[in-house]
């Protein structure tokens, strides 16, 4: 006997409710927001949502279904687009079954006209309130089904969410926030780079007019996919709006034979009534509890030393050993040998693909260097870029047909590189064999996995577009390596933050946030990154005094003070540092280690900064301590600084307030800096009144430690 389908289904987490309306032919989200009281029934919500018939329109608008359907009269962007040689394109499904559990709904629908089956999976994570949602399409017909589009489930946007907070950027300036008013029409961001991209991060936040970091309602949406994608927020003529995120396909890229299926990338969502910092807290909690591998979660994230900006391609065993000495001296716990260690690699124009140790630099292999590093009580890591190949390489000369292309168009070189076709079995075999050999032969505990160019011509030797398959093949290679070398940690680097998403985090442990170590730029980069990602996966390095990306000269106090709030590292020539600068760096590493547990497990509280400043805090789960950072970016607009209000503190508690960075905060006249250390102040005063900031020069930073007094 078939179980009857109910009208409504509800999922509840700690603070949120999700109500799905199954009264019609296609399922739709009726409500997603704060936890509903027991007296509030879905039928009441449906009654309150009753709309009038619009003039000169059909009696009822087509619903914003989980997969909006053109054949149902939906005039916006369809959630699924298919055809069979131009026919059977009109998708109109009917619900066949609903399988509810305590925290998940599985809804199966069929379309007789196109012979497809849609399965929507909706989950609501109890502890973090994060929504997870996918759409699976199955070919139930007897011929090839061409799939032009299959988005993750569509999310209706409340009418009072009139603001869109999107992401833009470029190389060395990723995760830049872009605010605009919602408008009649569609806000669309599309990415065809073959990776997450530097400029079109697959995430968006929609929120109410006056939402800020601490108050107000918002949805946050992120597509966990490391390839081509689109983000769409559309407001229809009726005023209704919806959000669609999904994979972006090239023509003819996805087809399904009878019985085959495709599952969309997972959509991750969070809903809050308590501001953007609370929204981020949900995502951070989900990453920590569901995406972070236990082998990493159970250890402190080691402070890195990376050789790149210290030596570039000018490698020698003796110089690397000197750097290892200095790295250990300042407190580094992991030594990462970056580019230039392998055969034929004297510049970025040659050698990629030849993953054999360069015996002109390391005549005895990497073993002696690794032994030296480990004798200094540091782990050893290695940079690789497996997906790419230089035309000037033994690999390309032997296998010129192994690269992605768009014949007959000429191959596009970018950064002297071409892209290997990971969908070819022989390419997968070669890359796995080479990486496996390195990880087997040497005590390498960490791989910095880079990808330094976009996929401009994602075609295989058969002339088919394979952007989707390339991403899946990357996941497969990473998964295979992790299965054989489970203790090896992997960093997702893509010329900086070009591959940062929840999809890649299922196979990696750290994200290199940006190739820019400019501390001033890093404040905005890391702020945008923090909207979805927690600090412990955010690679943040202390660069040289003159930033190699911007040419700007910044103090060690600022550089170290910004880097210590992420997964801290050092990427500068320690051999060129004077004693004073090196001593300050060593002190910053000590400070990071002292508070590492708090930084990497605490709740991020971004503050709505005053003009010219950047401020945020990290609060321990029990509320007993916190670190707050304030950076003065520009010259003061007034002769006196503003006030720093320590949001998130318990107003009924007392706190000891200390300045912990820089080591010797200075001011040209008597100020709060002279009297604040060790003071006991109520949380109420610190939150409501705030601390008078000193007069600071541009590019200055202060870090406060607050400890609850019991």
What amino acid positions are annotated as catalytic residues?
A: 450, 515
Provide the 3-class DSSP secondary structure of residue 236.
coil
| CA–CA distance, 307 with 143 (Å, rounded to integer) | 55
Q: What's the half-sphere exposure (Cβ side, CA atoms, 13 Å) at 701?
A: 29
Q: How far apart are the first and last CA of the chain?
A: 63
| CA–CA distance, 391 with 398 (Å, rounded to integer) | 10
| CA–CA distance, 151 with 80 (Å, rounded to integer) | 7
Provide the 3-class DSSP secondary structure of residue 679.
strand
Q: Where are the alpha helices (DSSP H) in 332-366?
A: none
Instruction: Report CA-CA distances (Å) from 445 to 161, 334, 440, 649.
Output: 46, 9, 11, 39
Instruction: Report CA-CA distances (Å) from 461 to 309, 400, 421, 424, 570.
Output: 38, 11, 9, 9, 42
- Least Cα distance to 604 among 612, 594, 593, 615 occurs for 615
Q: Classify burial at 34, counting beta carbons within 10 Å of its beta carbon; exposed 0-12, middle 13-18, buried 19 or more.
A: middle
Which residues contact residue 619 at a Cβ distance below 8 angstroms, ignoring those fewer than 6 apart?
602, 603, 605, 625, 626, 648, 649
Q: Are 84 and 143 in contact (CB under 8 A)?
A: yes
Tokens describing residue 465: 């577009």
User: What DSSP line would sit under 445-504, residue for residue?
Assistant: -EEEE---S--SS-B-TTS-B-HHHHHHHHHHHHHHHHHHSTT-EEEE-BTTBSS-STTG
Give the count of beta carbons closer than 10 Å to the beta carbon of residue 7.
13
Q: Are 443 and 374 in contact (CB under 8 A)?
A: yes
Cis bond upstream, residue 408 (ω within 30): yes
Q: What's the half-sphere exposure (Cβ side, CA atoms, 13 Å) at 31?
A: 22
Beta strands 446-449; 418-419: pairing state: unpaired
Q: Are 538 and 566 in contact (CB under 8 A)?
A: yes
Q: Are 79 and 66 in contact (CB under 8 A)?
A: yes
Strand ranges, E, within 320-385: 334-337, 379-384
Which residues contact residue 55 at a Cβ distance below 8 angstroms, ignoring those fewer than 6 apart?
none
């Amino acid at each position: 006997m078939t179980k009857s389908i109910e009208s409504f289904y509800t999922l509840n987490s700690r603070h949120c409710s999700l109500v799905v309306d199954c009264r019609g032919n296609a399922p739709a989200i009726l409500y997603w927001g704060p936890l509903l009281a027991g007296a509030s029934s879905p039928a009441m919500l449906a009654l309150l949502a009753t709309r009038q018939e619009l003039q000169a329109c059909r009696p009822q608008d087509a619903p914003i279904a989980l997969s909006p359907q053109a054949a149902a009269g939906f005039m916006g962007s369809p959630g699924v687009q298919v055809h069979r040689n131009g026919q059977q394109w009109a998708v109109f499904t009917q619900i066949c079954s609903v399988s509810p559990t305590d925290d998940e709904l599985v809804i199966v629908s069929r379309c007789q006209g196109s012979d497809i089956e849609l399965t929507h999976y909706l989950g609501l994570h109890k502890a973090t309130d994060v929504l997870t949602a996918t759409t699976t399409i199955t070919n139930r017909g007897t011929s090839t089904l061409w799939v032009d589009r299959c988005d993750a489930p569509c999310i209706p946007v409340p009418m009072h969410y009139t603001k869109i907070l999107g992401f833009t950027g470029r190389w060395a300036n990723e995760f830049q926030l872009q605010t605009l008013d919602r408008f009649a029409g569609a806000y669309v961001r599309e990415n065809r780079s073959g990776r997450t991209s530097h400029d079109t991060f697959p995430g968006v936040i929609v929120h109410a007019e006056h939402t800020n970091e601490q108050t107000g309602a918002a949805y946050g949406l992120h597509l966990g996919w490391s390839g081509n994608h689109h983000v769409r927020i559309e407001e229809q003529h009726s005023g209704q709006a919806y959000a669609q995120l999904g994979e972006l396909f090239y023509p003819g890229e996805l087809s399904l034979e009878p019985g085959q299926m495709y599952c969309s990338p997972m959509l991750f969502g969070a809903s809050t009534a308590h501001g953007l910092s609370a929204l981020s807290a949900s995502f951070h909690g989900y990453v920590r509890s569901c995406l972070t591998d236990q082998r990493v979660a159970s250890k402190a994230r080691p402070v890195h030393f990376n050789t790149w900006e210290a030596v570039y391609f000018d490698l020698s065993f003796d110089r690397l050993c000197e750097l290892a000495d200095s790295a250990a001296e300042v407190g580094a716990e992991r030594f990462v040998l970056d580019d230039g260690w392998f055969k034929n690699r004297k510049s970025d124009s040659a050698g990629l693909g030849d993953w054999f140790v360069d015996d002109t630099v390391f005549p005895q292999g990497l073993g002696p260097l690794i032994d030296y590093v480990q004798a200094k009580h540091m782990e050893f890591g290695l940079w690789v870029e497996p997906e790419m190949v230089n035309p000037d390489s033994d690999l390309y000369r032997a296998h010129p047909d192994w690269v992605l292309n768009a014949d007959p168009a000429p191959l596009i070189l970018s950064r002297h590189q071409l892209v290997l076709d990971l969908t070819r079995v022989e390419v997968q075999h070669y890359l796995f064999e080479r990486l496996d050999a390195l990880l087997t032969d040497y005590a390498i505990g960490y791989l910095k996995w880079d990808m330094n160019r976009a996929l401009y011509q994602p075609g295989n030797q058969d002339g088919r577009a394979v952007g989707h398959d390339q991403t899946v093949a990357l996941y497969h290679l990473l998964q295979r390596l992790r299965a054989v070398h489970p203790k090896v940690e992997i960093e997702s680097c893509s010329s900086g933050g070009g591959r940062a998403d929840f999809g890649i985090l299922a196979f990696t442990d750290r994200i290199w946030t940006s190739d820019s170590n400019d501390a001033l730029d890093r404040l905005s980069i890391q702020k945008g990154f923090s909207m979805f990602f927690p600090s412990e996966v955010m690679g943040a390095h202390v660069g040289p005094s003159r930033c190699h990306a911007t040419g700007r000269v910044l103090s060690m106090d600022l550089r170290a003070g910004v880097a210590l709030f992420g997964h801290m590292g050092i990427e500068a020539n320690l051999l060129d540092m004077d004693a004073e600068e090196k001593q300050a760096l060593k002190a910053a590493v000590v400070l990071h280690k002292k508070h590492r547990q708090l930084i990497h497990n605490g709740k991020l509280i971004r503050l709505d900064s005053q003009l010219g400043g950047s401020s945020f805090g990290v609060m321990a789960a029990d509320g007993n301590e916190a670190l707050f950072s304030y950076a003065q970016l520009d010259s003061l607009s007034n002769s006196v600084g503003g006030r720093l209000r320590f949001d998130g503190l318990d107003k009924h508690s007392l706190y000891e307030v200390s300045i912990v960075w820089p080591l010797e905060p200075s001011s040209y006249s008597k100020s709060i800096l002279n009297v604040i250390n060790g003071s006991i102040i109520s949380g109420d005063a610190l939150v409501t009144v705030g601390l008078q900031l000193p007069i600071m020069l541009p590019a200055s930073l202060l870090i406060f430690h607050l400890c609850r007094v019991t």
